[in-house]
Structure 1
Amino acid sequence: MPTGLQCWDEYGDISVDLTSRMTRLLGGVNQSGGGSLQEPALSQGVPFVLPILDQNGLMYPADITVPTISGTTVSWTTPANFYFGTY
């Protein structure tokens, strides 16, 4: 069985076991309106966004912003709070 990255702690137990990919967090956005940004490092892997929900008691609000990624541009149209990166 092929093995990717494996890391052990001081007791000999595996603490990280990856077989193919590791995520790389490139940045975060917390804006009161729409916008966009350029991040050249988005071309170095498969991009992802992670929306951050507020803590107002709603589990999944209907109006959560889900940004879009096109090439090396991240765009959003409403107030947004999210992280982005590649894996």
Structure 2
Amino acid sequence: MATGMRVWNPDGSIKFEVTTRLTRLLGQVQTGNQDGYLDVPNQGNQVFFFIISNNPAQPTRGIPVIGVSGNRLSWTFMENVRTPCTLYYGLW
């Protein structure tokens, strides 16, 4: 019999098992209202994720476009309205 951990949803479908990928939050950065980038230390062949969050009182227009290239997480504003955001980043 196999051993490990499994968690089921109320409907009987598997919600989590030992092969499910979990995330690890590495940090956060404030974009301000200028284009920029952050070099994340090499973590092997893992996949980056990011979440962008802005103040609800700020307009949602003008948030930056986010890019990932190698170990670099970059942001570029494409509009004249530039809404400062917080980028949370990590590994998946």
TM-score, scaled to structure 1: 0.65
Identity %: 33
> Does the C-alpha gap of structure 1 residues 49 and 4 become closer, same or farther in structure 2, counting only changes over 3 Å?
farther
Equivalent position of 2:86 in the other structure: 81
Q: Distance in 2 between matches of 1:46 and 1:85?
A: 8
3-state SS, counterpart of residue 67 of structure 1: strand
Query: Contact 1:42–1:71 (CA<8 Å) still a contact in 2?
Result: no
Letter in 1 for 2:52: P
TM-score, scaled to structure 2: 0.62
Following superposition, the deviation at residue 57 of structure 1 comes to 6.6
Q: Distance in 1 between matches of 2:61 and 2:44?
A: 30
Query: Contact 1:42–1:85 (CA<8 Å) still a contact in 2?
Result: no
Equivalent position of 1:12 in the other structure: none
Gaps of 5+ in 2: 8-14, 78-83
Query: Contact 1:4–1:20 (CA<8 Å) still a contact in 2?
Result: no
Q: Distance in 1 between matches of 2:23 and 2:58?
A: 29
Gaps of 5+ in 1: 8-15
Equivalent position of 1:30 in the other structure: 30
Query: Contact 1:51–1:66 (CA<8 Å) still a contact in 2?
Result: no
Larger radius of gyration: 2
> Does the C-alpha gap of structure 1 residues 3 and 74 become closer, same or farther in structure 2, counting only changes over 3 Å?
farther
- CA RMSD of superposed structures (Å): 2.9
Equivalent position of 1:63 in the other structure: 62
